[in-house]
Structure 1
Amino acid sequence: MAELVEDQDDSTERITEIGDLEEIDTALHPVAIAVGLAAVVILLMLTIFAFSASLKSGSSSAQVDQVTVPRMAGRSLAEAQAELERMGLVVEAEYNSNEVIPADTVIGQDPVAGSRLEVGEQIILRVSDGLAGVDLPDFAGMKGPEALKVLKTIGLLGEVEDVFDEQVVPGLIVSSAPAGGTRAAPGSTVKLRVSQGPEPRTVPEIVGRPVGEAIVELARAELTVGEISRQFSPDQAPGTVLSSDPAPAAKAPRDQPVNLVVASAEQQAVIPDLVGLRSSSASKVAKAAGMTTAVTNLALIAGDPRVGLVISQTPIANTPSAAGTPIQITVGILLPTTTTTVAGASTTTTSQPATTTTRG
């Protein structure tokens, strides 16, 4: 093969003959071939390694956390379920009859304790369905004796326990143990909790306090205010509680009235006992006590021993009252009679009882 080479500095052209291409015999160059193959193998291995590392990295990033399954046998279903759910497991309960283990108690599990589960996987708890026995009715609201009869009829024994309850009427059953709707072994004892009504309240310490504060304290103790009477006390300020009935620290049923005696600024008199006295005598006794009388007459039939006497009075005797308080007394009087003559015969007629009121 000839190559034309042009010389820029010389105007003449020179042609130099290089010759034909030389063919290389591969058999004469084994080292070059080995190096090439090695390079290809290395490149392939690097590619495989990179791909494997990529897969491993992706698998590691998608791996789910695992937990060790604890032993649940002997624990209540509610307790076991709460713990397993906190660990991220899904709980399914399967009930099985059991003559020994109480109801709602775990008696087995799948998988067993010590197994490894991924978060979100399911664990099955086998739970006791309870003892075979007698179905218990709901005794709440029944009377104690009635419930005892029912228990005897179904082959069970009854035991009464008195309890305080703010809502259930005394004498009625609040609850039972075992509860209604469950089962009890034949011949076993069922405890009946019978209401005794609200728990007694304690009368607060109100003596020596103003009556307004005493009323508030009684309300806080769920007691009510009964009769408030006045009594002269030179040592206590007017309106101060001198005593209470029931006394402070005593026990009283809820909402029971508590009577109060409160200090008065004025000397008070005591209502005299006028019942059984004649009207004139009653007026004198009342006047001597610094009081007046208002008389109401009640007509009585002849022969009634109360004619002419004080039958009743208001206020009642021996209660303190301010001076000048009028006392209402009822005095018996003889019922008037009339005589009627018809055709030579006379008839006596007694008028119906009547009342009249006078003041003196």
Structure 2
Amino acid sequence: MVADPLNGALLDGRYRIRGRVARGGMATVYHATDERLERTVAIKIIHPSYARDNRFLARFADEAKTIARLTHPNVVAVYDQGVHDGMPYLVMEYVRGRTLRDLLSERRRLSPAEALAVLEQMLAAIATAHRAGLVHRDVKPENVLVAAPPNGSGNLVDAVVKVADFGLARAVEASAEDQQGQLMATVAYVAPELVTGGHVDSRADVYSAGIVLFEMLTGRVPYDGERPVDVAWQHVDRDVPAPSKLVAGLPPLVDELVARATRRDPGGRPMDAGAMLAEVISAREDLGTLNTHTHVFAQPTMEIASVDPRPNWARLPGGGAAAGAARTVPRAQRSRQGGGRPAILDDLRARVGRLTATDHNRRKLLASLVAIGVVVLIGGYWLAIGRYVDAPSLLTLSQTNAAAEAKRLGFGMKLGQGIFSDTVPKDTVLKQDPAPGNRLARGGDITVFLSLGPELYPVPEIAGQLASVGVETAKEHFKVQQVSDYSDTLPKGYIISTDPAAGTQLPPGSTLKVIVSKGDFPLRVPTVVGKNVNEARAILEGAGLVVGKVEYVDNETRPHDEVLEQDPAQGAGAVKGTKVNLKLSNGPPGFPMPDVNNWNCGDAKRELERLQLQVQVQSEGFFGENGNVRGQQPAAGQPVSAGQQVVIQCRLF
């Protein structure tokens, strides 16, 4: 992978590039540090293809000044502008979050409540631009940044949304006017009037926002095709379908919002983002009402059998007189007498009242008293003992099996609060009330408490946060051990990473290592690629570094001992004593030609033959091999291989 040459660069003596964030069709976005104000910023550097266009540069500078005047919490703020190596750049607010495109790629679609919450903040930002006379022209999920909700929930209703790239499309479009009206808008979100006439106003942004709402609700854009031009003309020729046709159950109000925003005739849309914003706010209020009453339905009228309105005592034999007497009893007293009393006791009481009127009925009174006693005894036994049984054991059963067993035995089952356990598997009954064998009314409910499994908590995502903030978050469940280290990307005092990594499940009280930046590295690794190993060693040691692991690899083109690769790479941060590993060339196949100059010719020939070379001796005069070597081919150090013919030139002096 080729290193980005801008990494580590200092722009305008102030902005230190720390790393690339994203690359788009018009510009590349970098994460940087404003060393003057000691704050993190984002820098958007325009691609060289646009930087050579003077018309673009002029328009870009004008648009940057306009954008910088947009002050709104949902607009990505522009702090500064400049030019670096001929490429214009913008210095912008750094938003810690993801694009709406990333979220849709992950979740596919959003709930109506989340989609309208995101759209409301988008429109609030765009409305600010419209009031300033600026049209965005490229509203799409890639230009919408969504920061994590402050409360840590995953619900996007609480997220902070910011819109970026105001005016950038307009600057590019102006520089392309000589290119037959090049369409500078993503075709999936382009307004029909931009396709047919090229002239747009604030209602074009409303149309694009409506397409974004459609995508958030359905997980797709309304039109596709093999060529961009085919997609663009569908916006002209077809109405955007209702989202509920693709996703069942969506409320009609979101269909109406999409339809209003995406009318093909601009005159049928809200006049600008502010007007559309008012409709979205109203829809969110209606959606909240719908959500509150979604499951409340009127019950159908039921026909019930007629009943005798008189109480039980009025229907007894002789009930008329008893009724008259009963009506004189105060209401509170009647309430106390009737509360839960078996009807047979009321009947017996009425009979006793009549029997005591005469001595003739004393025996009947005695019999009735005996009957009352029997009833009381039986009732007391039932209430105290008879209606209870031993509670069965549901322990160690899964939730499903426990419910089935309780039902089989004629009992109900309720769920109590879960309990953490290191020994009982999750979703298994850990405890029950009443306990097994304790008294339980027939048909009563058993409350079971399920195991939650071991008590584990995920390591929070705190990388990139100030240590003072992130450490407090981590301390909620863990013991924090702070470790300092240098960082290429984060200023001093910010969290680089955690060990274990974010998302790892740990028991409460575990030690979590938090690595905190202590600023930029004091050294930068120099390049030694292409150098001989001895030269490379001298360069590295001169920079306060040392040579680490050395590995030879086959290479047919580079000389023996030449550095092919280094790790860490050139420009990487380092501290004194950092080891730099090297990969060296084995050189071309064979071995270097030895230097036999000034050797005795006979000795030289024998040495070269020992190396399995074919030796040709060229001599002057009659002395043959008795002279000394005064020349050789190939020259010393050149690659040779076994069986190759070499020449030595021999002379007496």
TM-score of the pair, normalised by structure 1:
0.32
Whose strand proportion is higher, 1 or 2? 1
Larger radius of gyration: 1
**Where is the helix percentage greater, Structure 1 or Structure 2?**
2
Q: Which has the higher contact order (CA 8 A, sep 6+)?
A: 1
